[in-house]
Structure 1
Amino acid sequence: MFHLTPLVGSAIKNPPALQHVLGLRSNDGQGIISLEHRSIVRTATRPEKSGGGARTGFFPATRARTGGRSTCGLQKGRSTFRTPAGSWAVQPHYQLATAFRAEWGSPGGWAAPRPLHLGFLCEYDALPGIGHACGHNLIAEVGAAAALGMKGALESLAGLPLPVKVIVLGTPAEEDGGGKIDLIEAGAFKNLDVVFMAHPSQENAAYLPDVAEHDVTVKYYGKASHAAAYPWEGLNALDAAVLAYNNLSVLRQQLKPTWRVHGIIKNGGVKPNIIPSYSELIYYFRAPSMKELPVLTKKAEDCFRAAALATGCTVEINGGAHDYYNVLPNKSLWKAYVENGKKLGIDFISEDAMFSGPSGSTDFGNVSFVVPGIHPYFYIGSNALNHTEQYTEAAGSQEAQFYTLRTAKALAMTALDVIFKPELLERIREDFRLKLEEEKF
């Protein structure tokens, strides 16, 4: 069990002392993040393609759209162990080619038998053709900046035996492949007590109910034939794909309002005068929970098989490498985040709006089933929608820097609350336990 000395507890409860620990001043543009780190991670112009093997160093440092070279005290490939209290132990290519892990321990963190492990997650993969249209360059910056802020705050308490370790995980391939799921399976989250990250959006939300997602690739195999001379000799795989598409469209009448089905026909033949012998579809299915997702998936698979039966084709249904789980809320944690965010001037949407707004899917959902965590959304100064060219521009703008670093401060302040308020940590763990029980599938 993690315990604090009375000295630290009394210091952190004193508001001036808390501001000193954070290095936070009213209307101070630097806050807990020094000017040296204002551009810690910007990958707006040389993004990593999701799921690919692109170059990604620890805290990728590249030129941003706004100009200037980003800086970082932790560089690609460097593993420093000179002084545990002041250096980061860095593991590049951690479990995955473009993943990384960096660890820093407070003076008491390296010697403690069971220090508190706080994790900060960085994403940095981009979208094909339009770059960082989901703002993952800012996710990387938030995670890195919050971790560096934590390090600075804890270093200001030098001499106190704080059994704390700060972990930064670089988690690639969120858009396509589920890098966090691969890292979970590799044990990367095994010893973490609480994890933190934040995602750019059009509003500030402490939580959004990101849903469970399953994707499939469906292949139909027919028989080619001359489409004019003897079409009756063929088996039309494109017809099967069209029937499957229409079957799912008709099925929508019986789908719950919270379920989502969307897909494309990727391959429908090569020439109009040849009966297509092969077709391919890709579909995504989403539901609010992992309990409901298999129900939706079963209905969809029946539609695919029915199309094969009607056309005489054979069908192959291949699920994606990973299902994305729904994100479990941790009310105690996001309430602490809101409290800290409001101190910094963040205007959050209401709790009712949080649970009624639009949502997507993320591999952080899988993380939320193995360790308590928070995945808030933050405004970046633009109403542009994610996954558009306009959002790429917004994510690379100078204006986004203010909102990004403000969010990093709120995360760091919340992480400090977890350290210095044992009752909060206990509530977070209890919320996690209860949600896991509720969502058991």
Structure 2
Amino acid sequence: MLAPEQLIESAEKARRAIASETARLRSELEKVSLDIHAHPELCYEEVFAHDTICKFLESNGFAVQRGAYGIPTCFEAETGTGDEIVILCAEYDALPGIGHACGHNLIALSSITGFVAAAKAAVELGFAGRIRLLGTPAEEGGSGKVKLLEAGAFEGAAAALMSHPTSMNRIAEVEGLAGAAGLVTIAASMVKTEFTGRTAHAGATPWQGLNALDAAVSAYTSISMLRQQIKPADRIHGVITNGGVAPNVIPDKTSMVYGIRSRSAAGLNDLVRRVKNCFEAAATATDCKVNTQTELFYADQILNPTLCGAFTEEMALLGDKFLPIAKETVSSSTDMGNVSHALPSFHCSYGIESGSASNHTAGFTAAAATPDALHRAVRVGMGLAMLTVRLLIDSTFRQSVRAAFESAKET
């Protein structure tokens, strides 16, 4: 264990090493991000992004496992030795039709920067510990990190870290504010259901049919009535994806997709149960069969105030003002929420200049490739690097992070 004065000295040396390595690799790092932005790929199809990042890492001397954990577009790079592990998560999937409208090319940039810069600091300072860069595909509706959790990718880690860009308009409530170290996201699920009845001629022999469209409409109506009895932050929104093919044919197959959101994983579980009851009741009423599947389940984000406070301090040293914890919960969801229920996690939000455009719009896609966005993402990456270093060199800090995680899980 290092003495307090040794920790201060080591941290200063680490900051200098991180700044130097970031400056040395800056143009390469930004090119990786811009190349990913120019080649948007949907969840589990991120072949170009996967290969581009792996080539960059390999060309800079890092061993990379491609197609890690049985997922073709996942990768893992690790450096260092020892029992303690810190994981930086890189996202790089895009959205249908509008490309990198959530700025995942910037998420990759920050995490890659954090990894290579922290690795350099580890070499120069000679401290023990393993630093892992984990390529996490399919955040946009594919539950990539959930699959990686199940595969053991996060097992034994002291913490998992990442960042997320948003519009500066969303976070600039205080003049000069660059972002929020802690951002509360909500739990979300997608539920698909299919009703099966029996077809018949609607004009000649309707009594021979079992109307699957009636079942879908009954479920839709019941869920609409359910909305009156849910909490203000809860959301239920859905569509009928198949309602039949012709008006004179009683439909024997219909299908629906619903998005369901709640403040907590426990609240979401209960809300999903109530929605499924509506499907079951509709099937009973129409004598149809029903098959319901929960496509994904993103848990709420558990914040770690110790990590948030340390990141805020590091970004202040770089000249950026961050709120330790955002004042309001946002209505978005992420599979990093599931990770935060399994181990201490960090998922900050920082602003980029995007005018009036918010995430998931074409305007934000354009903003995610600007010099301003790249500059801010790299600076956040330097903050992630220092957070990594502090977790590995300061056992007291690491224990505080773990204690904060255990405390949050109990509440």
- Tell me if both proteins adopt one fold, taking TM over 0.5 as the criterion: yes
Moved more, 3-12 or 307-316: 3-12
Correspondent of 1:172 among 127, 137, 141: 137
TM-score, normalised via structure 2 length? 0.89
Work out the percentage of aligned pairs sharing the same amino acid: 36
2:39–2:48 CA contact under 8 A, matched in 1: no
* Aligned-pair CA distance for 1:4: 4.1
Correspondent of 1:244 among 212, 215, 219: 219
For 2:129 and 2:324, locate their aligned partners in 1 and report how far apart those are by CA, in whole Å.
33
Per-residue deviation, residues 35-76 of structure 1 (Å, max 9, x unmatched) = 443333341122221144745435538xxxxxxxxx82436x
Q: For structure 2, list consecutive stretches of 5 or more residues without a partner in the other structure.
A: 172-178
What is residue 407 of structure 2 aligned with on the other side?
A: 434
What is residue 44 of structure 1 aligned with on the other side?
A: 37
AA aligned opposite 1:388: T
Per-residue deviation, residues 354-396 of structure 1 (Å, max 9, x unmatched) = 2424232111111112221101111121141212222222223
Moved more, 173-182 or 417-426: 417-426
For 1:209 and 1:53, locate their aligned partners in 2 and report how far apart those are by CA, in whole Å.
28
For 2:315 and 2:20, locate their aligned partners in 1 and report how far apart those are by CA, in whole Å.
13
Correspondent of 1:21 among 17, 23, 26: 17
For 1:436 and 1:33, locate their aligned partners in 2 and report how far apart those are by CA, in whole Å.
39
1:215–1:319 CA contact under 8 A, matched in 2: yes
What is residue 149 of structure 2 aligned with on the other side?
A: 184
- Residues 1:230 and 2:205 are matched in the alignment: yes
Q: Secondary structure at the match of 1:40?
A: helix
- Aligned positions of 1:161-310 closer than 5 A: 162-202=127-167, 203=171, 204-310=179-285
For 2:56 and 2:408, locate their aligned partners in 1 and report how far apart those are by CA, in whole Å.
38
For 1:398 and 1:288, locate their aligned partners in 2 and report how far apart those are by CA, in whole Å.
35
Greater fraction helix: 2
- Residues 1:337 and 2:335 are matched in the alignment: no
1:119–1:167 CA contact under 8 A, matched in 2: yes
* Aligned-pair CA distance for 1:154: 2.5
For 2:221 and 2:270, locate their aligned partners in 1 and report how far apart those are by CA, in whole Å.
19
Per-residue deviation, residues 189-217 of structure 1 (Å, max 9, x unmatched) = 11321111001112322122212223211
For the aligned residues, what is the CA RMSD? Answer: 2.5
What is residue 380 of structure 1 aligned with on the other side?
A: 352
- Structure 1 residues 350, 365: CA separation in 2 closer, same or farther (over 3 Å shift)? closer
For 1:18 and 1:51, locate their aligned partners in 2 and report how far apart those are by CA, in whole Å.
36
- Residues 1:361 and 2:333 are matched in the alignment: yes
1:381–1:403 CA contact under 8 A, matched in 2: no
Q: Secondary structure at the match of 1:384?
A: coil
1:58–1:74 CA contact under 8 A, matched in 2: no
- Residues 1:129 and 2:97 are matched in the alignment: yes
- Structure 1 residues 73, 170: CA separation in 2 closer, same or farther (over 3 Å shift)? closer
Correspondent of 1:370 among 342, 347, 356: 342
- Structure 1 residues 406, 312: CA separation in 2 closer, same or farther (over 3 Å shift)? same
For 2:113 and 2:281, locate their aligned partners in 1 and report how far apart those are by CA, in whole Å.
52
Per-residue deviation, residues 391-423 of structure 1 (Å, max 9, x unmatched) = 222223333111111111121122222233332
Q: Secondary structure at the match of 1:358?
A: coil
* Aligned-pair CA distance for 1:33: 5.3
1:58–1:100 CA contact under 8 A, matched in 2: no
1:40–1:72 CA contact under 8 A, matched in 2: yes
- Residues 1:9 and 2:2 are matched in the alignment: no
What is residue 58 of structure 2 aligned with on the other side?
A: 74
- Residues 1:103 and 2:84 are matched in the alignment: no
Moved more, 222-231 or 328-337: 222-231
Moved more, 174-183 or 148-157: 148-157
- Structure 1 residues 73, 52: CA separation in 2 closer, same or farther (over 3 Å shift)? closer
Moved more, 37-46 or 247-256: 37-46
Correspondent of 1:90 among 64, 72, 92: 64
- Structure 1 residues 279, 206: CA separation in 2 closer, same or farther (over 3 Å shift)? same
- Structure 1 residues 302, 73: CA separation in 2 closer, same or farther (over 3 Å shift)? closer
Relative contact order (C-alpha < 8 Å, sep 6+): which is higher?
2
- Aligned positions of 1:47-66 closer than 5 A: 47-52=40-45, 54-60=47-53
TM-score, normalised via structure 1 length? 0.83
For 1:217 and 1:19, locate their aligned partners in 2 and report how far apart those are by CA, in whole Å.
49
Per-residue deviation, residues 162-197 of structure 1 (Å, max 9, x unmatched) = 112210000111112211111111111113211110
For 1:208 and 1:277, locate their aligned partners in 2 and report how far apart those are by CA, in whole Å.
45
AA aligned opposite 2:90: C
* Aligned-pair CA distance for 1:324: 1.8
* Aligned-pair CA distance for 1:253: 0.7
AA aligned opposite 2:314: N
AA aligned opposite 1:207: G
For 1:212 and 1:230, locate their aligned partners in 2 and report how far apart those are by CA, in whole Å.
46
Q: Secondary structure at the match of 2:255?
A: strand
AA aligned opposite 1:327: Q
1:33–1:149 CA contact under 8 A, matched in 2: no
1:40–1:145 CA contact under 8 A, matched in 2: no
AA aligned opposite 2:140: E
Report the count of equivalent residues.
Answer: 398
* Aligned-pair CA distance for 1:429: 0.7
Q: For structure 1, list consecutive stretches of 5 or more residues without a partner in the other structure.
A: 62-70, 76-85
What is residue 82 of structure 1 aligned with on the other side?
A: none
For 1:100 and 1:206, locate their aligned partners in 2 and report how far apart those are by CA, in whole Å.
26
Q: Secondary structure at the match of 2:279?
A: helix
AA aligned opposite 2:302: L
Greater fraction strand: 2
